């Protein structure tokens, strides 16, 4: 699977406004055409954009990622609008000009945290649903449902904009754009790492004093459950059940699409400071992968989710966008102080390799990894396996 855009916008395009400039959607479709033309004979799975939520929120809202713009009131909505149009136009380029001969698949990769309601009261169930709409639905609804943003987003952002006496901060799609966007996905690419607890946020008499932005527009609060194991990043918690819930949610709300989990992984606290054998003993990551993969299996076998594959994040310790090399997600450790950048398998590499080689969890642990070993190297490079004929739930 090849991704066309993973947050590295050329400087010349940033100089004209980046994703805040809607004309970039046309430039992106031209770029996609070049890639399809030159590499499409070898690429059968394309992702137009990786995690547009992050591009919009962290790039044009909080400013923690490039281009560092802090416009949380409207920046994310404007950037997301252009990102969606860019995706749709690129998909149509492939569909009209290349699909017949190349016979590939084009989609988008969306990230999402599962939102657990604080309790089972109707108010909190609605808040959790609202959280999902503002997170996943923001991008999934235009593509997989009706070509437009979720109704709750349109209603709340319009209401809050009116309270401040300003034009609606959420851009509108034309009818032609809605028609263009709907159905522009050949599969559902999902990045998932963690979950959150969600509740209703009521402003009461102070509603006129609220500084409305993306976070407040949702009218919810989110928090972590203190019992959850926390990873190295402040946002990362181990909540395997959340993946199963999320997969079922996608099935029920977006037309039961074919799903590929395109990223899922773990970074342990203090891992960067470890030396020797301790640096390779990543028991937390082993537990994370086995439990999350098992929840994915349950979603497939028990819940009827059309789950086609899974990618681990990541094969190697790599550069994380605003933490550099200090957060390690790899199943192979990279020695960044060594000019040769020596790679050494961690414990999780062996465990994951066995799961891939056996296409699941073998009932007899003594046979783990002994089937399919000949094809393992190629499979590991793809970091993909198909969730069929598993022997453990």
- Catalytically active residues are 51, 263
Q: Helix (H, G, I), strand (E, B), or coil: what is residue 219?
A: coil
Exposed, middle or buried, 112 (CB in 10 Å: 0-12/13-18/19+)?
buried
Exposed, middle or buried, 205 (CB in 10 Å: 0-12/13-18/19+)?
exposed
Q: Which residue, 49, 16, 44, 15, is CA-closest to 32?
A: 49
Q: Give the CB-side neighbour count of residue 166, counting CA atoms within 13 A.
A: 13
DSSP percent split of the chain into helix, strand, coil, nearest 5: 45, 15, 40
- Which H/E stretch holds residue 53? helix 52-54
Q: Sort strands 2-5 and 237-238 into parallel, antiparallel or unpaired.
A: unpaired
Task: Please state, as a whole number, how many other Cβ atoms lie within 10 Å of the Cβ of residue 247.
Answer: 25
Q: Helix (H, G, I), strand (E, B), or coil: what is residue 324?
A: strand
What is the 8-class DSSP label of residue 320?
A: B
Contacts of 262 (CB under 8 A, 6+ apart): 1, 47, 109, 189, 190, 191, 311
312 touches 286 (CB < 8 A) = no
Q: Is the backbone of residue 49 left (phi > 0), alpha (psi -120 to 50) or beta? A: beta
- What the block records as the tokens of 96 is 């009209």
- Which H/E stretch holds residue 155? helix 151-163
3-state SS, 57-126, equals HHHHCCCCCCCCCCCCCCHHHHHHHHHHHHHHHHHHHHHHHCHHHHCCEEEEEEECCEEEECCCCHHHHH
Looking up tokens 């961690």, which residue turns up?
346
């Amino acid at each position: 699977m090849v991704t066309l855009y993973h947050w590295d916008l050329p400087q010349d395009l940033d100089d004209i406004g980046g994703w805040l400039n809607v004309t970039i959607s046309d430039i992106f479709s031209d770029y996609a055409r070049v890639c399809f033309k030159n590499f499409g004979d070898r690429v059968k799975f394309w992702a137009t954009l990786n995690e547009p939520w992050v591009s919009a929120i962290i790039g044009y809202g909080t400013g923690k990622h490039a281009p560092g713009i802090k416009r949380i009131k409207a920046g994310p909505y404007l950037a997301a609008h252009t990102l969606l149009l860019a995706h749709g136009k690129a998909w149509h380029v492939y569909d009209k000009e290349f699909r017949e001969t190349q016979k590939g698949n084009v989609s988008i990769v969306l990230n999402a945290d599962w939102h657990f309601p604080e309790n089972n009261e109707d108010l909190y169930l609605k808040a959790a649903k609202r959280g999902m709409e503002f997170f996943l639905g923001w991008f999934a609804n235009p593509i997989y449902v009706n070509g437009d943003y979720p109704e709750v987003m349109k209603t709340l952002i319009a209401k809050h904009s009116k309270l401040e006496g300003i034009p609606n901060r959420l851009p509108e799609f034309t009818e032609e754009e809605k028609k263009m966007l709907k159905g522009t996905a050949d599969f559902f690419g999902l990045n998932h790492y963690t979950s959150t607890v969600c509740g209703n946020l009521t402003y009461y008499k102070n509603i006129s004093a609220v500084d409305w932005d993306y976070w407040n527009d949702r009218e919810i609060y989110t928090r972590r459950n203190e019992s959850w194991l926390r990873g190295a990043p402040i946002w990362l918690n181990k909540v395997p059940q959340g993946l199963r819930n999320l997969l079922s949610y996608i099935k029920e709300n977006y037309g039961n699409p074919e799903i590929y989990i395109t990223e899922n992984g773990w970074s342990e606290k203090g891992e960067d400071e470890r030396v020797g054998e301790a640096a390779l003993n990543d028991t937390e990551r082993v537990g994370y992968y086995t439990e999350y993969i098992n929840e994915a299996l349950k979603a497939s076998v028990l819940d009827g989710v059309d789950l086609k594959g899974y990618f681990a994040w990541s094969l190697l310790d790599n550069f994380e966008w605003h933490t550099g090399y200090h957060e390690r997600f790899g199943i192979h450790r990279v020695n960044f102080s060594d000019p040769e950048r020596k790679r050494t398998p961690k414990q999780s590499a062996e465990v994951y390799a066995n799961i891939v080689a056996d296409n699941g969890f073998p009932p007899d642990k003594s046979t783990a990894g002994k089937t399919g070993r000949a094809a393992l190297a190629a499979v590991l490079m793809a970091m993909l396996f198909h969730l069929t004929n598993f022997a453990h739930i």
